[in-house]
Amino acid sequence: GTCETSCPEAERARRVERDDLDLLERGPNGRVIRRYARNLTASAATGENASDGSSGVRTLEACEDTCAWLLARFGCDEWNAKASTQHQAEFLWDRLRGVRQDLSIQNCFVEDAPSALRVAALLERMVTHTLETTFALRRLETQTQTFNEALHTEQLGKTFGMLLRLYADLGDAVDLSRMTEFFSLWLCLRIDATREISAELRKFNRRDVIRSPKVQFAIKCHRAYASGNGIGFFRLIESSECSHLHEICLEKYFTSVRLETLRAMNVANNSTTMSFDELARIVRLEEAGHAEQLVQSCNLRCDDVGVAFRLAPFRYPDARERKAASSLRWSAAILANALERVSLA
C-alpha cells in the first residue's frame, strides 16, 4: 500500500468537492474515510488505477490507525448526537469493509509474518465489533429500526475467511487460544450447515485446535441443533463453556430451535395442559406471555392457563404477521443482561 492516510487524496478531494461526505465525516473532529469500492484492483496499490477514484491502497499502518479511530468513536457522545446507532454501525461496516479490502489486495501476509500477525489482529477486532453491534441492532430492530443482517453476515463470513486463511498460513506463529476462539465462533455461526462444517474441520488440519474445549463446544452445539435436541442446545448455551461472543453467534438459531422443540412436543406429549410458565422455561423465553403468543402463532390449542398438545396440527408461523414476528424475536432470559456487556465504545 502507498496511501498513508485514512482516505486516498483523489477520493477525498472528489468527495469534498461534491459535498459527498457522511454526516459522521463532517465537523471539526470529522475525518474522511475511504469507502468500500467494488472495482478496486491490485493496480491501485501503486497508484496506477487513478480512474476509479483511488490514488493508492492504504498502508498497514494507515489501516490500523483508521480501524482504531473508527472503533474508538462508535457510540461516543459526539457521534450519538449526530446519528443513530444503526447509522453509525452502517457507516463503520462500510468503512471497515474498505479496510479489509485494502488488507487483502496488498497480500502483505504472504511473505511477511510480523505484518500478517498485525493483519490478523485487525481482522479479529473487526469480527468482534461486527458481532457485538449486530447483537445490539437486533434489540433496536424489535423497537423501531431494521437492518440488512443477511448482508452483514455475508461480509462477516468473508472477514472470517480471510482470518482463517491467515491462521492456516501462519501456523504456530498464532496464539493457540486466539485461533481456537475465532475458529469456534465461525463454527457457531454456521451450525445449520453440516456439510460446510465437516469440510471446515477437514480443511483446518490442526488436531490441537479441533480438540480444544472451545471448538468442541461448537461441535456439540452443532450436534444438538442437527438432532433437534432443543433442551440440550439451550443447556450448552447456559453452560460455562459458552462465552458472550458464542451466545451472539448462536442467538440467531434460537427461533428455529424453539419452533422445532414445540413441534416435537406436539407429537410426543399427551394432551394434558402444560402451563405457559413451564413452556417458557423449556424453550427459554423470558415470560409466560411470550410463550403464549408463540403457541398461538403455531396454531396450537391453548387456553388462559397453558397449551394442550396433540389437539391441533402444528403450523410454522408466518413471520410476516406482526404478532408472530414479535413473538419470534424475543430473546431468551439467558441473554437478557447480555446487552449491558456489549462495548459500544
Express each pLDDT in 25-75 by its tens digit.
Answer: 998 888 999 998 766 554 444 444 445 444 578 999 999 999 999 999 998
CA pair distance 158, 169, nearest whole angstrom: 17
Q: Is the dihedral of CA 213, 219, 221, 224 positive or negative?
A: negative
Chain-centre distance for alpha carbon 219 = 18
The per-residue pLDDT for 2 is 81
Q: Mean pLDDT, to the nearest integer, of 120-143?
A: 83
Tens digit of pLDDT for each residue in 197-234?
Answer: 888 888 777 889 999 999 999 999 999 999 989 989 99
Q: Which of 249, 257, 245 is nearest to 187 (CA)?
A: 249
The per-residue pLDDT for 138 is 74
Hey, what's the cell of 297? Answer: 402463532
The per-residue pLDDT for 40 is 58
**Structural element, H or E, at residue 101:** helix 85-106
Hey, what's the cell of 276? Answer: 405457559
Tens digit of pLDDT for each residue in 115-129?
Answer: 899 999 999 999 999
19 or 332, greater pLDDT: 19
CA pair distance 156, 153, nearest whole angstrom: 5
Hey, what's the cell of 119? Answer: 493483519
Banded pLDDT at 135 (limits 50, 70, 90):
confident
Q: List phi, psi (to 5°) of 4.
A: -105, 10
**Structural element, H or E, at residue 306:** strand 306-308
The per-residue pLDDT for 278 is 93
Residue-averaged pLDDT of the chain: 83
Rg (CA), the chain: 23
Tens digit of pLDDT for each residue in 253-305?
Answer: 998 899 999 999 999 998 899 999 999 999 888 889 989 989 998 999 999 89
Q: Is there a contact between 324 and 54 (Cβ–Cβ < 8 Å)?
A: no
What is the reported pTM? 0.83
